[in-house]
Structure 1
Amino acid sequence: MCPADAGDHDRPLTEEEAEHLLRCICFKNGPPATVGVELEWLIHQRTSPMRQVPADRLVAAHDRVRALALDSALTFEPGGQLELSSRPAASLMACVDSVAADLAAVRTALDADDLVLAGIGIDPWQRPRRMCHEPRYDAMEAYMDRTGPGGRAMMCTSASIQVCVDAGEDEPGPLGHGRRWQLAHLLGAVLAATFANSPARTGRRTGWRSTRQAIWAGLDGARTVSPPLDGEPRSAWAAHALDIPVMFVRMSDGPWVHPRGLSFRDWLRTGVHRRPTRRDLEQHLSTLFPPVRPRGHLELRMIDAQPGDDGWTVPLAVTAALFDDPEAAETVYRAVKPLAEWAGPLPAPRNPLWVSAARYGLSHPELRSAARTCFAAARDALPRIGASTAVQDAVAAFQERQVMRGRCPADDLLSGTPELGRARRTTTGTETGR
């Protein structure tokens, strides 16, 4: 039983209570039964995507969308990006149908201002511009500025697809939480390569298929990596989370404090500034950005936003099939397990596996081979998990158009956008993780 109930968020924690809470709230056991998705979108002008949307026009569009009655949770990211977070759904198609209906309503609302949702991992044209000014975002910007400009680019010009699957059972096997934790990190690199869709920034090619993933690798190393994968997931994650520096300390009667080098564990032990609470622990967890984040479920965060009105359904369907169908999960685990030797001991996203995924996409032979196995297994599993014919057709079309040809959406973006195809490659190493 967790040491603090839902009404006890502001009571000071002990170190033992914090460790117990992390084990309770980050890995919840049970057979896979639900799936969810979080979709981030850039907002562009329909006829001139290279021009920045004027701030007042974007604010008016935000207000129009906020007035909609949506099933998904609606938020706006610091740069004005729109995010829809689905409810936990009992099936893949329940998730797809609910989010598709919400997206249709959002697109209609934006159309009144001649604006569109753009599915790209990093805005290929615009420099960072922060629209949302809240103490949390002020603190995040100040913290990330310590390591260079990549943090602002990530906050204000990036968009992703985050697929959420259950953490799994406590028993060993293809649906056990230990196996699913490892699978998420190895398969995650394949997903990053397959759906890489951010090859340019500020009008220049970067040399990466996923500039978004490359920027993550160049940010604060402790905050954006996972713990070593050879330990028991609950203990490894609890220790990892407590040893990461605190980004900010919320103060009720003054400016928030931005400590340097104060881990959450040290904060618990010293009580410097004030004693941390469960609310502080939950805030701290929300400032950790590994490619796979345990939040009771597993949140896979490595997929770039995808083009097209329904392009997002392909990574959602493939991921759900490979995690929640036992036969597919076992097939894919055997296929991606050899990638662990290539990856080496370093946790993602800085190891050679993830760097290669971000730089080369499916032009890399090992990742291309793994992706072909994954898509074959997913297509076999989709009917078993109730996927509609339309979703199955979308996955098959992506497999034929991209996976079998060793391509990813980034290649299409470069070849289909003349200005980017002709643009010079940037040499700004800090912003691309070199």
Structure 2
Amino acid sequence: MDVDLREEDAEAHVHGVCFKTGPPERVGVELEWLVHDSTDPRSPVPVDRLDALLSSLDTHTFTHGGAITREPGGQIELSAPPGIGIADCVTQTAVDLEALRRICADHGLVLVGSGLEPLRSPSRVLDHPRYRAMEAHFDRAGPWGRVMMRSTASAQVNLDAGERGGGADGYHHRWQLAHRLGPVLVAAFANSPIHRGAVTGWRSTRQAVWHWTDPGRTRPPEHHSDPGVAWARYALDAPVLCIRRPESADWEAPQGLTFRAWLRGVRGLPRPNRDDLDYHLTTLFPPVRPRGWLELRMIDAQPGDGWQVAAAAATALLDDPAAADCAYEATEPYCRGHALPDDAVWLRAARLGPADPEIGKAVRTCLAAAESALGRSAGAEALRRRLAEFIEQYAEQGRCPADDQLDALRRGVRGARPKEGRP
């Protein structure tokens, strides 16, 4: 165990473990779901019912090796092993997801694909010291952290970081393109316009909540020509969320302490070692997170099997060279000559979705390019057709799945009014 980790060693370690390069081949997804009672969706789901559900799962439940975890508000996450290509990933994950849905139904529960809990404010169901410290840290800045922890859900897509060289497959280019595509994916698949029964005024309230939660760990890093350098600086300058203390249930970190400051020495605290640094990396939540691969974390959970369309579009736009070139050009107008979009673009995408004229144009161009790319991908014809249907139903109409939630609310609740300002 390292007891004297220097800043330069920490930066080199972050760069090395977070950007493992290689050709783009594998695709994985991590699907978070809200959990409702199948007969009374407004009622809280007691912890003992969630425990009973999870205890009924074993190593034989999932044919393709999916793993289940529980999030702080009782959300359930299915993490699928990566497939070779998007078609393989979707096929394997769909089998395991269907098994999970059947078991949920046996327990009177249903998985809900929405980026934000629309009906209630769940309590925190995990009492681990990590989550107590996390909540205390976020509470200092406002209510957004609790909402993020307890009420949000995403459809995360994991892709290889890319090769060491330049060009469309190089990890420098893929890192930059993933960030440029972020607002497109936020807008196209926005699906969180309602919270606690009220219209928020945002198509992706989830993205807005993450944006406001803790800027030093939930917004993108500053641009640098080497993404490894950008990420290492971001990681070391991020506030320490918690400090593991095996002998104590109190893992709270001193307010305002960055990992870099901790490396330099803090009275009363032992210096961090490499294990502490690796743990710190798990507490960073930007829209694109490098973990040896790229995690695309900005997509709202999708209704039904809509996650398949979101995953297929994201993969095609990064892995197909022609689609990647098209996407880079299509995102140039809102980048305005900069390498990456600024915070205002991310927020416009979250508030308006594809109804924003500039972002909406990029959505339509990028999804059309993704559809063409899927037509060139072996075994992806069914995904291409589903994406074509999505484009016709949503992108071409300036709509996103959030608009379906809003339509349903307006049909059922007269006089629904949006909130103003922040969600």
One-letter amino acid matched to 1:110: C
Once structures 1 and 2 are overlaid, which stretch shifts more, 167-176 or 185-194? 167-176
Query: In structure 2, which of residues 203, 206, 218 is the aligned counterpart of residue 212 of structure 1?
Result: 206
Residue 120 of structure 1 contacts residue 306 of structure 1 at CA under 8 Å; is this kept in 2?
yes
Aligned to 1:242: 236
User: 1:128-143 alignment to 2 at 5 Å?
Assistant: 128-143=122-137
Question: What SS is found at the alignment partner of 1:42?
Answer: strand
Question: Is 1:386 aligned to residue 378 of structure 2?
Answer: yes
The CA deviation at 1:48 is 2.5
CA distance in 2, matches of 1:207, 1:257: 34
Query: In structure 2, which of residues 235, 251, 262 is the aligned counterpart of residue 256 of structure 1?
Result: 251
Question: Is 1:79 aligned to residue 73 of structure 2?
Answer: yes
Aligned to 2:223: 229
RMSD of the TM alignment (CA)?
A: 1.9
Question: Is 1:290 aligned to residue 286 of structure 2?
Answer: yes
Aligned to 1:323: 318
Question: Is 1:148 aligned to residue 142 of structure 2?
Answer: yes
User: 1:358-369 alignment to 2 at 5 Å?
Assistant: 358-369=350-361
Residue 36 of structure 1 contacts residue 88 of structure 1 at CA under 8 Å; is this kept in 2?
yes
Once structures 1 and 2 are overlaid, which stretch shifts more, 190-199 or 125-134? 125-134
Q: 1:51 to 1:221 in 2, by over 3 A?
A: same
Aligned to 1:165: 159
> What percentage of aligned pairs have identical amino acids?
50
Query: In structure 2, which of residues 403, 416, 422 is the aligned counterpart of residue 423 of structure 1?
Result: 416
The CA deviation at 1:11 is 4.9
CA distance in 2, matches of 1:347, 1:262: 28
List per-residue Cα deviations over 1:295-338 (Å, max 9, x = no partner). Answer: 11111110000001x11100100111111111111111111123
List per-residue Cα deviations over 1:150-174 (Å, max 9, x = no partner). Answer: 1111111110011111111222211
After the TM superposition, which segments of 4 or more aligned residues of structure 1 sit over 6 Å from their partners?
Answer: 344-347
Query: In structure 1, which of residues 70, 94, 99 is the aligned counterpart of residue 93 of structure 2?
Result: 99
Once structures 1 and 2 are overlaid, which stretch shifts more, 377-386 or 50-59? 50-59
Q: 1:292 to 1:421 in 2, by over 3 A?
A: farther
The CA deviation at 1:368 is 1.2
Q: 1:421 to 1:369 in 2, by over 3 A?
A: farther
CA distance in 1, matches of 2:223, 2:156: 21
CA distance in 2, matches of 1:304, 1:410: 10
CA distance in 2, matches of 1:72, 1:12: 38
Return the TM-score normalized by structure 1: 0.92
The CA deviation at 1:420 is 5.6
For this pair of structures, how many residues does the alignment match?
418
Give the unaligned 5+ runs of structure 2: none
Aligned to 2:331: 336
The CA deviation at 1:230 is 4.2
List per-residue Cα deviations over 1:233-285 (Å, max 9, x = no partner). Answer: 11111111101111111113233242111111111111541121222111111
Aligned to 1:28: 20
Aligned to 2:174: 180
Question: What SS is found at the alignment partner of 1:165?
Answer: strand
List per-residue Cα deviations over 1:386-426 (Å, max 9, x = no partner). Answer: 24332222111101100111100000111023346643323
CA distance in 2, matches of 1:114, 1:257: 37
Q: 1:12 to 1:36 in 2, by over 3 A?
A: farther
The CA deviation at 1:68 is 5.2
The CA deviation at 1:385 is 2.3
Give the unaligned 5+ runs of structure 1: 1-7
Return the TM-score normalized by structure 2: 0.94
User: 1:368-407 alignment to 2 at 5 Å?
Assistant: 368-407=360-399
